[in-house]
Structure 1
Amino acid sequence: MRLTVLAAVSVVAMTASACSSSKPCAGVGVTSQIGVMFLQRGYTDLAGASYELCAGSRCGKGHLEQEDITRISLRLPDDVDEHLGTLRFRVTPKGSTRPKIDASTDVKLTRQPDGCGGGAYSKGLAFTKEDGLTTKIPPSVSAAWRRHLDSLASPSESF
């Protein structure tokens, strides 16, 4: 009887986990997505501008704040594969009908395994006024993102 109970508990524990391995699945919950780090240096009139990030039949839209760097992401369908195709990034200033930025590039996604036999596809890109939309993240974008994260982690002086 004791052996039967132990076996049942073992099966339930393995079923409840995301994989049949005894090691934890650190990547469970990874999602397919594409992101653009947008370095706004060189633009002065983007507060309230609308953006659109499109890939395949999906688009993400929103509005920008005037800040040094903005991270824009688009969730992709679960069944996406590495051959995403063309990614298009547009930014239209508030009150305008013409985009100030209209850039596109072909994108091949990278698989992120979840450690349990599954995974998701994703890719990070950058947009700068100097380099346009690129899959190679320039050092200036990485540095701006680090500064941004540091500013979020710094304690506020006003309580």
Structure 2
Amino acid sequence: MLLAMASRLTNEVTDAAPDLLLGTARHRTMLFPRSRTTPRTARDFVAATLTEWGETSRLDDMRLCTSELVTNAVLHGAPVGQLVLVRVESLDKELRIEVHDSGKNRPTQRVPEESAVDGRGLLIVAATADGWGVKERTGPGKCVWAAFNHITEPQGATS
């Protein structure tokens, strides 16, 4: 059952951006178990991928958003025994983190009570990322994403 879910998630995510021309983007995808350690290992996966690609200008922001999105997927999205898929994508104009799970519920941004100890994840993502949203997936579940505009060096800037 676990392998079937893994292959469905992997096959479905390859269609994440069907309008891109070949060679205009890079991406890397990894499946994670639904466990309390998944947010940390997903952050590490995203950081390692972005570092390898030389995309570190917003690394801390992307790690934070990854943590929040994956935590939501683990706590509220992925049913027990299912997997969470994390995709890192570098497009021409933006970097994108996608978190896919097979849960039915769509996340909603809310304003928690001041004394609440949780419920701020999507507020953090909205304040940190340049954009975020939820999209349907082929098959079960949804994809929650956060996008970060590429930061380019001004012409003539030197280090």
Q: TM-score, normalised by structure 1?
A: 0.30
Name whichever structure is richer in strand by fraction: 1
Larger-Rg structure: 1
